Structure 1
Amino acid sequence: MQQTYNGMPASAIRGVRWRKSIRSNSTGNCVELAELPDGGIAVRNSRDPEGPALIYTREEFRALMLGVKDGEFDNLLA
């Protein structure tokens, strides 16, 4: 199994399917996610597919998503 770590080049993560948010658009709001073989989640900026990836455990990503769904970060949109 490939060793992944925060900040590694997203292009070095092999054998995953990157999925782009349907809210991504041509003006630069581009985020992609990929499920890793170990169950983790990788996040990258699709405008820079060679750039760094953020790597989260499934538990970390779940906590983030639940917080987003609960509106905990809505103040960041203002």
Structure 2
Amino acid sequence: MVQYSNGVPASSITDVVWLKSSASNATGNCVELAALPGGEVALRNSRHPAGPALVFTREEIAAFVTGAKGSEFDRLA
């Protein structure tokens, strides 16, 4: 099984499905996430799909999503 580390080129992560939020802006720019075979989650910038990807555990993604749902990051938008 392939292990990916933070900063890996997103273009090197193959055989995954990148998901983009339906709430992305009018030009489609957003972040995209993909489930990795080892159970982790990769995140990339849709404006730079071949650029670096950040890799998180499922627990880290769950904590972020909980914070986002709880409006903890609203001041950044």
TM-score w.r.t. length of structure 2: 0.88
SS at match of 2:8: coil
Q: Residue by residue, what CA displacement relative to the aligned partner does 1:23-57 show, whole Å, maximum 9, x if unpaired? A: 22453632211001111111111221110001100
Residue of structure 2 in register with 1:27 after alignment: 27
Corresponding position: 1:45 with 2:76: no
Identity of aligned residues (%): 60
Query: What is the alpha-carbon distance in structure 2 between the residues aligned to residue 10 and residue 26 of structure 1?
Result: 23
Query: What is the alpha-carbon distance in structure 2 between the residues aligned to residue 72 and residue 31 of structure 1?
Result: 18
Q: Show structure 2 runs of 5+ residues with no match.
A: none
Q: Show structure 1 runs of 5+ residues with no match.
A: none
Corresponding position: 1:68 with 2:68: yes
Query: What is the alpha-carbon distance in structure 2 between the residues aligned to residue 46 and residue 71 of structure 1?
Result: 23
The structure 1 segments of at least 4 consecutive aligned residues displaced by more than 4 Å after TM superposition are none
Give the number of aligned pairs: 77
Residue of structure 1 in register with 2:57 after alignment: 57
Does the CA-based 8 Å contact 1:34-1:43 persist in structure 2?
yes
TM-score w.r.t. length of structure 1: 0.87
